[in-house]
Amino acid sequence: MLNKTIKQLADGLASGEFSSTELTQDYLAKIKSEDAKYNAFITVTDEHALAAAKTADERRAAGKAEVLTGVPIAIKDIFCTQGVKTSCGSKMLDNFIAPYESTATQKLSDAGMVSLGKTNLDEFAMGSSTESSFYGPTRNPWNLDTVPGGSSGGSAVAVAAGMAPVALGTDTGGSIRQPAAFCGITGLKPTYGRVSRWGMIAYGSSLDQGGPMAQTAEDAALILNTIAGFDPKDSTSMDKPVEDYTAQLNAPLTGLKIGLPKEYFGSGLSDGIRNAVIDAVKQFEKLGATVKEISLPRTELSIPAYYIIAPAEASTNLSRFDGVRYGYRCEDPKDLEDMYTRTRSEGFGTEVKRRIMVGTYALSAGYYDAYYRKAQQLRRMIKQDFVTALADVDVIMGPTTPSTAWNIGAKNQDPVAMYLEDIYTLSVNLAGLPGMSLPCGFHDGLPVGLQVIGNYFSEAKLLNIGHQFQTATDWHTKKPNA
């Protein structure tokens, strides 16, 4: 049961091959026996899950099941889930039981999906390795000494290690795509505004977007069908009809125009990844696509632009964690100043504090024009580069990451080295475009991700491309044997 895609699980549940309760019990048992190795989950919600599974079985018996009713899922612990601890990987929220439900998880629950628990992440989604979590690092099932990527590392590992058939992640600068690449799964960051941010704890509000982390593109399409759509509670969500993302999966790729940005294949890219990506592109040529070199000239500038804008937004988004209303409060505060200072000094980890300080600095009087305003100008130029490129090609392809998963501890003393690992993913968030990572090979035994970037609201096209690739290749079926 546990090696099935959610498409297969949905079919099995529909045919009565197994019940949601049986399925859920198996996954919970697997998490219980194996997660000690990985630390992918912060909270496993056994009781909630079994109750939801029972409800799903009853719903199916009543003939009211939807496609995904009864299918389990793991949720990144950044989505507020009512009555369940929602920690965001931080000591600050270690005691926080969300009193309300995020729109994305509500939609999953309305569809009858069964949440197994909340997955580990870099604290407040700030990181590329899931090492900065208050709950300790998550380990990559392909090699337990390596990181799973981040910040949605827990969700990626839950899927890669078979502890959940699919998971929900969020992506601010690569946090779905990069861990998907490191763990050999399929991850989709939708267009900014496609999935509601209501109830998703904000890191960089203008960049954050929730999306599926799945075994296949087809599974990702099923999840996107469920979570996408306008939400009156999120002013930045797009009031645009949701298409059926599975409808185009089988369309042929004949005539597809692929652009390869030369900046994505320069120095800094490991040869192993370069070769895997080039092979994948050749596969698309076999499927009828044409390939041309393009240029995204400001790719390198996306790093400084991102590392101004995201921390600037984060610095104010995280001001609410002040010990007054919920979350961590320091012991015996002397006065208000002391309460603020110690609550935040003790409640936040190093990387979060670093980004709050960077963001605060960038927004300060006298520095705003030099940093924040300039970064916004860069952002517009980066977006324009994509618009220009996508006028000429249908999709852009390249590596998701410059290297494969690194060893735990290797980069977390050198934040800039860590930031450089996001070079191919950041610009997609700055532009607000959809991006997907597909498993496309291995380098030294670790998975390699192919990134596919499409135009605004072209998720159906991306998933079609993913599905066709996965129909022609079997990289996505490889499982770690950790």
Partner 1 sequence: MQWETVIGLEIHVQLSTRTKIFSGSSTAFGAEPNTQANAVDLALPGILPVFNEQALAKAVAFGLAIDAEIGKQSFFERKNYFYPDLPKGYQTTQLEAPIVGRGHVDVLLDNGESKRVRIHHAHLEEDAGKSLHEDFHGMSGIDLNRAGTPLIEIVTEPDIRSAAEAVAFAKKLHTIVTAIGICDGEMSQGSMRFDVNVSVRPKGSETLGTRTETKNLNSFKFMEEAIHLEVERQIDILEDGGSIIQETRLYNGDTKTARSMRSKEEANDYRYFPCPDLLPVVIDESYIDAIRDTLPELPDAKVSRFIRDYDLTDYDANVLSASQAMADFFEGVAKSGGDAKLAANWCMGEFSKYLNQNNLEIEANPITPENLGQLIARIKDNTISGKIAKTVFQAMTDGEGTPDQIIEAKGLKQVTDTGAIEAMVDEVIAANLDQFEEMKAGKDKLMGFFVGQVMKISKGQANPGQVNQIIQSKLKG
- Exactly one of 62, 325, 331, 332 binds partner 1 (CB under 8 A); that residue is 325
Which residue type does 81 have? T
3-state SS, residue 467: helix
Instruction: Identify each DSSP E strand in 96-200 by its residue range.
Output: 114-119, 166-171, 186-189
CA distance linking residue 163 with residue 149, whole number of Å: 17
Please, are residues 95 and 51 in contact by the beta-carbon 8 Å criterion? Answer: no
- 84 in contact with partner 1 (CB under 8 A): no
x/- map, 364-383, partner 1, by CB under 8 A: xx--x---x-----------
x/- map, 285-324, partner 1, by CB under 8 A: ---------------------------xx-xx-xxxxx-x
CA distance linking residue 22 with residue 18, whole number of Å: 6
Please, are residues 7 and 52 in contact by the beta-carbon 8 Å criterion? Answer: no
With residue 294 as reference, give the H or E element that holds it.
strand 290-294
- Exactly one of 135, 182, 198, 475 binds partner 1 (CB under 8 A); that residue is 198
- Active site residues per annotation: 76, 151, 175
Total residues at interface with partner 1 (CB under 8 A) = 44
Instruction: Identify each DSSP E strand in 319-459 by its residue range.
Output: 395-399, 435-443, 446-454
CA distance linking residue 192 with residue 93, whole number of Å: 26
Closer Cβ to partner 1, 5 or 196, answer by number: 196
Joined together, the tokens standing for residue 371 give 């940093």
- 176 in contact with partner 1 (CB under 8 A): no
What residues between 94 and 153 interact with partner 1 by CB under 8 A?
A: 96, 98-100, 102
CA distance linking residue 45 with residue 52, whole number of Å: 10
Closer Cβ to partner 1, 28 or 310, answer by number: 310
3-state SS, residue 319: helix
Minimum distance of partner 1 from residue 213's CB (angstroms)? 19
CA distance linking residue 351 with residue 42, whole number of Å: 19
Residue (of 201, 203, 166, 156) closest to 39 by Cα position: 156
Closer Cβ to partner 1, 313 or 394, answer by number: 313
- 200 in contact with partner 1 (CB under 8 A): yes
Helix axes 374-390 and 302-317, enclosed angle (nearest 10): 120
x/- map, 7-46, partner 1, by CB under 8 A: ----------------------------------------
- Exactly one of 6, 168, 201, 438 binds partner 1 (CB under 8 A); that residue is 201
CA distance linking residue 207 with residue 362, whole number of Å: 17
Minimum distance of partner 1 from residue 328's CB (angstroms)? 12
- 80 in contact with partner 1 (CB under 8 A): yes
Closer Cβ to partner 1, 38 or 198, answer by number: 198
- Exactly one of 18, 265, 340, 442 binds partner 1 (CB under 8 A); that residue is 340
Minimum distance of partner 1 from residue 8's CB (angstroms)? 33
Minimum distance of partner 1 from residue 166's CB (angstroms)? 22
- 88 in contact with partner 1 (CB under 8 A): yes
- Which DSSP string corresponds to 395-415? EEEEES-SS-PPBTTSSTT-H
Matching residue, tokens 């320069």: 266
- Exactly one of 19, 21, 45, 86 binds partner 1 (CB under 8 A); that residue is 86
- 442 in contact with partner 1 (CB under 8 A): no
Which residue type does 222 have? L
Residues that bind partner 1 (CB under 8 A): 79-80, 86, 88, 93, 96, 98-100, 102, 197-202, 204-206, 232-236, 312-313, 315-316, 318-322, 324-326, 336, 340, 360, 363-365, 368, 372
